[in-house]
Structure 1
């Protein structure tokens, strides 16, 4: 019998996954991206990607279904896979499996961690414009949002952050800082120096840092992502991570809360029943992605970088009034449309007149008016058509 070579751990051709699916195939999907708007709308809003699943993820889920392996999650395979990924990708040796906890998803993990490190009425600092769910999730916990706006360069403004920390720490409050890293919607990847400065400020003012690092794997080739817990002074921080954004797994929920060495006791106070929420299939899928999906991820990140360049070219040619600073993180683009004269919510005009769905800037808090967020994780053809339609939108 002919002996077969072992199956490689990832798609052998490693072609750009953004170029594999037609618009007709994508419209067969039933997720929120494809069912919120009519079929004539190009949906470039929510952070779902127009990609097929990575082959290792497909195999893992298919094998589990074939075995009827659809019970409750158990074990530390997910955390071990994340620790291995962190060593390979980020050179970070400090992700200790015993200081992790499986949680249903990143936002619910953030909620549970904030419940432990803050009390009702305490402030939670955010860098606006920022991921819109930060606002309602914090408010629904009876905490209050304190904004520390990004600087004009769309990076963390350390002076503004210090002012927010100083304000938040008055009166005995147990303040927390909800760090978005890489930053959504701007795509900024924070440097080690910036994060070390954040840690020093947090220590000075007694602010606990909770890092949303869900977009961590999605960075341009040649760009280094720095885990917050890896920088000096971050020992009391906590991080939430998952494979959700990088491998398009929002529908198979699972995430990990990771504690710094000085925050292990805090993580241990998160109720044990929180770990009952993740999907077992989600844990299987995320584990496979982190362990064996590196080649697929490389192809995705290269394709996203191509789309960043393409978007900049298309805007320069067809919508030169729109300001766009390509940034190396996330699959998202933050567009300043204020010079178009479309008001505080240009997304409404692009949808109504151009049939392109984008995320409205005002939803991202202070600094979002006159902006839109565009999801780059689509084919070059769809991106080209979207800009054509946007350019045809009358002002």
Structure 2
């Protein structure tokens, strides 16, 4: 599989478009959870205007009163075309897809198809906190296979976790975060093929959360899990949500490998009634017409990663940061600052800057924070300066 290079951005950097005053008029979680003197660099919302094709699609729907129930396969076809062009993957079969309300609810439905209450679900901490909460709510048990010290999958540790997960005779699944949140790690084709081989050996079903896939950096070389040899019975969840900032317009796609089509067919019909029809239209427009906007965003995120590296070197040289190949999230090791297990609490109280607490991400999260760098260079700079002032008190 050969990925196609990203196009040269034909639009201005959307991260530079909005002022702090304009952003504070938003009423979403990012801007309403904390008091107005707090600079929010935490939850995964981007400080950008929407791509024009998305605005047109939503406006057209509202003008027509086209706000009924979702129908058809346009979303899946748009994703298949995007995947073929962006990642060189032509294996996304529209007939093996299903619309789901969002990625995490889709994850729940996929895990229900391949596991039962009491079964184990393997995760790779530090990892997206809802993984723990949703798995527990389903009456499944977590089996941890922590990332290695290099932030990558540790295949020996993963094999041990698989062995423990199936030891009692039950079924097991691996909830794979790809690209990885919070580290931004992009798993290689070799790593993913090794995961598929281990999963086949131990009878573990892989469910891949690939919501951050469109946000792979130009040199990130993202590989869909279902594209690697041995992944035929895998399941994937994808969405335009993170790439185009559409979390409030609910819609995602569940995708089955060839040997998992029968599993996906067993998903209850009512699950497909949960997505927003307007959301489906927005996501379809993003994937089919919004690539120039996305390329401009990716270039801006790359600039912000370099800026963050320089800011930390100047103001917080004790903080460890390894720029990821995808996402707009930065995983910062603050243990050398002596701020305890939850530095985010200190940064919030002393510096009035909100970051995601590392302990929420499970094993390996203590002493860390997750910073959302999908904002303007000015806001990012002010955020790091606030962190630095908080760290020296």
Same fold by TM-score greater than 0.5:
yes
Structure 1 residue runs of 4+, over 3 Å off?
none
**1:60-71 equivalent positions in 2, closer than 5 A:** 60-71=57-68
Alignment check: 8 A CA contact 2:10 2:292 kept = no
Give the number of equivalent residue pairs.
Answer: 386
Q: 2:4 corresponds to which residue?
A: none
**Could you say which residue in structure 2 is the equivalent of 1:14?**
11
SS in 2 for 1:171: coil
Aligned mates of 1:370, 1:203 — CA distance in 2:
36
Q: 1:232 aligns with which of 229, 235, 240?
A: 229
- Whether the 8 Å contact between 1:252 and 1:281 is mirrored in structure 2 is yes
1:265-309 deviation digits (Å, cap 9, x = unpaired):
000111010000000000000000000000000010110010001
How do 1:50-65 residues align onto structure 2 when only pairs under 5 Å count?
A: 50-65=47-62
- CA deviations 1:54-98 (Å, max 9, x no partner) are 000000000111101000000000000000000010000000000
Match in the other structure for 1:6: none
Q: What is the deviation of 1:13?
A: 4.9
- Match for residue 319 of structure 1? 316
Residue by residue, what CA displacement relative to the aligned partner does 1:299-347 show, whole Å, maximum 9, x if unpaired?
Answer: 1011001000100100011100100001111010000000101000000
Please provide the CA RMSD for this pair: 1.2
1:309 to 306, 312, 322: 306
Please, which of 148, 152, 155 is the counterpart of residue 149 of structure 2? 152
1:190 and 2:180 correspond:
no
Q: What are the equivalent positions in structure 2 for 1:209-358 lying under 5 Å apart?
A: 209-358=206-355
Q: Secondary structure at the match of 2:242?
A: coil
> 1:222 deviation in Å?
2.3
Contact 1:305 1:328 in 2 (8 A): no
Q: Aligned to 1:211, what secondary structure does the other structure show?
A: strand
Q: 2:121 aligns with which of 124, 140, 143?
A: 124
CA distance in 1, matches of 2:86, 2:101: 24
1:107 alignment partner, one of 104, 109, 112: 104
Conserved in 1, the CA contact under 8 Å of 2:10 and 2:293?
no
Contact 2:332 2:371 in 1 (8 A): yes
Query: Does residue 164 of structure 1 match 2:153?
Result: no
Q: Which residue of 2 aligns with 1:389?
A: 386
Unaligned runs of 5+ in 1: 1-9
| SS across alignment from 2:142 | strand
What is residue 4 of structure 1 aligned with on the other side?
none
What is the CA-CA distance between 1:109 and the residue it aligns to?
0.3
2:219/2:325 contact within 8 Å kept: no
How far has the Cα of 1:223 moved from its partner?
Answer: 2.1
Any idea what the Cα deviations from partners look like across 1:215-238, whole Å, max 9, x if unmatched? 000011122110000000000000
Long gaps (5+) in structure 2: 1-6
Q: Please say if residues 347 and 372 of structure 1, whose CA atoms lie closer than 8 Å, have aligned partners that are also in contact.
A: yes
The match for 2:359 is 362
SS of residue matched to 1:145 = strand
* Correspondent of 2:138 among 123, 137, 141: 141
Residue of structure 2 in register with 1:42 after alignment: 39
Find the aligned partners of 2:214 and 2:240 in 1 and give their Cα distance: 8
Name the structure 1 match of 2:92.
95
- Please report how far the alpha carbon of residue 361 of structure 1 lies from its aligned counterpart in structure 2 after TM superposition: 0.2
Q: In 2, distance between residues paired with 1:242 and 1:392? A: 38
Question: For 2:79 and 2:322, how far apart are their aligned partners in 1?
Answer: 31
Say whether 1:78 aligns with 2:75.
yes
Tell me if structure 1 keeps the 8 A contact 2:215–2:298.
Answer: yes
Cα distance in structure 2, aligned partners of 1:84 and 1:184: 25
